[in-house]
A and B are shown apart, each in its own frame.
Chain A
Amino acid sequence: MGAWLVGFALFIYLLGFLIAVPLYTLFYMKQRGSRWLGAFVTAVLFTAIIYIVFEVALGVILYKGVLFA
């Protein structure tokens, strides 16, 4: 689990939240036994909600990652 957290943080640092979150969600769920479709839908939906709540509604820019800055 520690590895997942460190990896997640690393992805956030490199690629930003809007890529790291769906990737983390997708792979974590898949690894624990979800099916591709369910994991994919959850990942996309979750990221969309985060985007809407934070970037659209609250106006905060989510970290874009060093590779994109």
Chain B
Amino acid sequence: MVLEAFAQALGNLTSISIWVWLLLGVIWGLVFGLVPGIGGVTAMAIFLGVALFLEPMQALPVLVALMAVSATGGSITAVLLGIPGDNVNVVTIFDGFPMTKKGEGGRALGAALTASVLGGVGPAFFTLGMVIVVLPFVMALTSMDMVFIILIGLSFVVMMSKGSMIKGLISAGVGLLLATIGLAFSTGEPRFTFGNPYLYDGIHIIVVAMGLFAIPVMVELAMKGGTIAEAGTPIKGMHDVWMGAKDVFHNWKLWLRSSLIGYVFGVMPGVGVTGALFISYGYAKASSKHPELFGTGVVEGVIGPESANNAKESGALLTTLALGVPGSVTGAMMLAALIILGFAPGPSMLTEHLDLSLTLLILLAAANVIAVMICYPLAPRMAGIARIPSRLLVPLVVGMVFVGVYVSQGLIQDVIALLIFSALGVAVRHFGYNAGALILAFILGRLFEDYLMIGLQVGGPLFFLRPISLFLILIIITIFAYGPLKRVLKRRFLT
């Protein structure tokens, strides 16, 4: 069956139209990645509005491209202008920008791009292999077990929130609360609908996505004003791009381990990318022969984070497809898209739709390659895009968002809902709460209740007394006990 699916997946790829859409997605993703302040998540959120009107084989290649490329476009501005395209590129600046200032910009860029493409492609193929390993496990899962998979996802989301765990918990809690709005799945009783039929289906995912991720970013931009990239350092020395590429091959062990770090972070549901970046940078520094030079412009400081941030997307796609639990916020967008397009994320993606999942994984790798092929020659010119003034960018993006939200359902109430959620999104950002946790909990919350109801109906109140479920419960306990346990053990052994 797996071989059949592989064959079918390859067959899917012979359609030219898929590649055209993939290319469109790559360009869209690169441009959004380049412009500081907007990145893969915003690009995907905006595209969700259009995705509704497209065939799956048109929309999905674009979304996969956006996921893949979200980390690549921003590396250009990070290295050449010292400005992150998105928060995934922040760490690249530490050594990438100093290299440009030293005149080694080409080399840094070559290293960043090569690390990105290898980091994106290698793990993608690894994932193809992983699918086969994971398949028997996934097929053994039943709805009753899915309840706990979702709980694991929620636990990760909360545990791994950067900053205060309390705020992460509250954000997730708000997401869950919002998920309850609507008609209850099994009984049809209206919850929090205030008698308004608009709310019977619950809050529209696109409204949440745009309100939490697209608009607040624009609000911040509007308040900062001016051009994001000031007239930066003139870019010289692009001819040593090849040297940078060779650097990555030379440091292949670093690349391998950074990719692995990124991949694992991607697979873990709910975990953000920042952890992966700092850990891979820290590892690069620790394993280097000249750690004290880090920060002054060392190529390894670029290779580490850039491999990690692309590898992460492959891992996230695997988790999102296989378990129906998002591996990252971009994964959450992908999940929303799959739901909108009529797919039920979860085990069915690896059984009934295995060929589609395999196609998507291959497309992810391909998107990385295409992106880098575009970037190599055009990078300096592309950096110019980052200089787009905010007074131009803000109305364009805001306009796109509002139109996108409206066309997704054709309901003007969505526009009002968008205002409300934008206010929420701005508040979340301003007070340091976790928008990613909120939207992940929102999506997971609705899935959770569905599976719980099915589980109870099929298995009765003791439905969790099954080996797989108990194993999953154990994992959840471990996740929560890990922190406190570490502290207790430390105290025991140090006193």
Q: Are B402 and A9 in contact (CB under 8 A)?
A: yes
The one of A13, A33, A50, A54 that contacts B391, using a Cβ cutoff of 8 Å: A33
Bound form: Cα–Cα A59–B54 in Å? 12
In the complex, how many angstroms separate the beta carbon of B330 from the nearest chain A beta carbon?
23
Q: Are B415 and A12 in contact (CB under 8 A)?
A: yes
Bound form: Cα–Cα A28–B397 in Å? 13
Q: Are A8 and B398 in contact (CB under 8 A)?
A: yes
- The B contact surface, by secondary structure, is helix
- Does any Cβ of B come within 8 Å of A63's Cβ? yes
In the complex, how many angstroms separate the beta carbon of B378 from the nearest chain A beta carbon?
23
Q: Are A32 and B419 in contact (CB under 8 A)?
A: no
Number of residues of chain B lying within 8 A (CB) of chain A? 29
Q: Indicate with 1 or 0, residue by residue over B404-430, a CB within 8 angstroms of chain A CB atoms.
A: 001100101001101100110010000
Q: Are A58 and B50 in contact (CB under 8 A)?
A: yes
Please give, as numbers and ranges, the residues of chain A lying within 8 Å of B412 by CB-CB distance.
12-13, 63
In the complex, how many angstroms separate the beta carbon of B17 from the nearest chain A beta carbon?
15
Q: Indicate with 1 or 0, residue by residue over A32-60, a CB within 8 angstroms of chain B CB atoms.
A: 11100000001000100010011000111
- Does any Cβ of B come within 8 Å of A1's Cβ? yes
Q: Are A9 and B416 in contact (CB under 8 A)?
A: yes
- Does any Cβ of A come within 8 Å of B403's Cβ? yes
Q: Are B399 and A24 in contact (CB under 8 A)?
A: yes
Please give, as numbers and ranges, the residues of chain B lying within 8 Å of A21 by CB-CB distance.
399, 402-403
CB pairs A–B below 8 angstroms (29 shown): A1-B219, A1-B223, A5-B398, A6-B419, A9-B415, A9-B416, A12-B402, A12-B406, A17-B402, A17-B406, A21-B399, A21-B402, A21-B403, A24-B395, A32-B225, A32-B390, A46-B395, A46-B399, A50-B399, A53-B50, A54-B403, A54-B407, A58-B50, A58-B407, A60-B407, A60-B410, A61-B410, A62-B403, A62-B407
Supply 13 further A-B pairs (C-beta < 8 A) apart from A9-B416, A21-B399: A5-B215, A9-B418, A9-B419, A13-B416, A24-B399, A25-B399, A29-B392, A46-B396, A58-B53, A59-B53, A60-B53, A61-B410, A63-B406
